[in-house]
Amino acid sequence: MIDKTLRVVTFLAPNTLPVYQFAIDYMGKQIGYQTSLVVGSSYEEVYDADLSFICGLPYVLRTRTQPRSIEAIVAPVLQGERYHNQAIYFSDVIVQRDSPFQIFADLRGCTWAYNEPESQSGYGVTRYSLVQRGETRGYFREVVQAGFHQRAIRMVCSGEIDATAIDSQVLAVELRDHPELADQLRVIDALGPSTIQPLTAARHLPASLKTDIQAVFATMHTDPAAHAYLDRGLIDHYVAVDDASYDDIRLMLTACEKAQFLTLI
């Protein structure tokens, strides 16, 4: 008997989980597969899954060590003019509203939070931005791991941390769902853009199935019921991507490696 179940793992922010759960359920129904979505705890789980929602940096790192083990196939285009109808996103640098910090250059010597060290939005692009500025040692007085973006946002609101960089999609969703946070924060810079997080497919999936999945995602926004869910994630539509789409993140990583600057400390 042919297994008609697709095992899907997500590593993306919790506040977008309902959107990706719907998208996977919708896709499965369209192509005649059962689907099972779980929240991942280790990036190594991508090798056992059929499909994965994963950040661009761990995707690049996994495909470097195990080429062609997973393949980026689709990615969202976010709503808003700043995205220019492309599959990109930014890392918005936030501080407390009454903070004296006005631009990124003011943050020298501040306390900084990040979500986790393999996050492009919270870590990789910050690291690259410092390399571009020639600031590869000791720029921040203290660097703290928050665990996830929503926690980092609240650390800034409470004054526990001076600043952090937040995935622009995650930040917009969080401020929409928790409008009281908007009165407590300011965005002082935007790092990036970076190619946005892909849905990846495992090597063992047939090419025809990958094509079918891409087709469903590409037209999902035309279904009014689906579009309502995409709106919850501020997603306009999905587009096909491939491995080369993430070369921008590879270039950022390579620049940091050449500068021997792989940690923010």
Q: Which residues pair with 38 in a beta bridge?
A: 9
pLDDT for residue 78 is more than 60: yes
Cβ atoms of residues 264 and 114 within 8 Å: yes
Q: How far apart are CA 72 and CA 57, in angstroms?
A: 12
Q: How far apart are CA 100 and CA 84, in angstroms?
A: 31
Cβ atoms of residues 15 and 152 within 8 Å: no
| Residue keyed to tokens 């129904």 | 29
Average pLDDT over residues 26-45: 95
The length of the chain is 265
pLDDT at 47: 92
Q: How far is CA 84 from the centre of its chain?
A: 18
Q: How far is CA 188 from the centre of its chain?
A: 20
Q: How far is CA 189 from the centre of its chain?
A: 18
pLDDT at 164: 98
- Using DSSP, state whether 77 is helix, strand or coil: strand
- Name 2's Cβ contacts closer than 8 Å, sequence gap at least 6: none
Identify residue 241 by its one-letter amino acid code: V
| Residue keyed to tokens 């179940």 | 5
Average pLDDT over residues 1-28: 90
Cβ atoms of residues 70 and 203 within 8 Å: yes
pLDDT for residue 3 is more than 90: no
Average pLDDT over residues 32-48: 94
pLDDT tens-digit readout, 244-255: 999 999 999 999
Cβ atoms of residues 193 and 75 within 8 Å: no
Average pLDDT over residues 120-146: 96
- Name 128's Cβ contacts closer than 8 Å, sequence gap at least 6: 191, 252, 253, 255, 256
pLDDT for residue 1 is more than 50: no
Q: Tell me what the pLDDT averaged over the chain comes to.
A: 95
First to last CA, the chain: 53
pTM of the complete model: 0.95
pLDDT for residue 180 is more than 60: yes
Cβ atoms of residues 149 and 161 within 8 Å: no
For the ranges 42-46, 64-68, 75-79, 206-210, the lowest mean pLDDT is seen at 64-68
**Half-sphere exposure of 199 toward its Cβ, with a 13 Å CA cutoff?**
25
pLDDT for residue 83 is more than 80: yes
163-167 β-sheet, strand order: 142-145, 111-114, 163-167, 88-96, 185-195
Q: How far apart are CA 48 and CA 68, in angstroms?
A: 14
Number of C-beta neighbours around residue 156 at 10 A: 26
pLDDT at 265: 78
Cα 12 to Cα 16, 20, 121, 184, 192, distances in angstroms: 7, 9, 11, 25, 18
Cβ atoms of residues 121 and 165 within 8 Å: yes
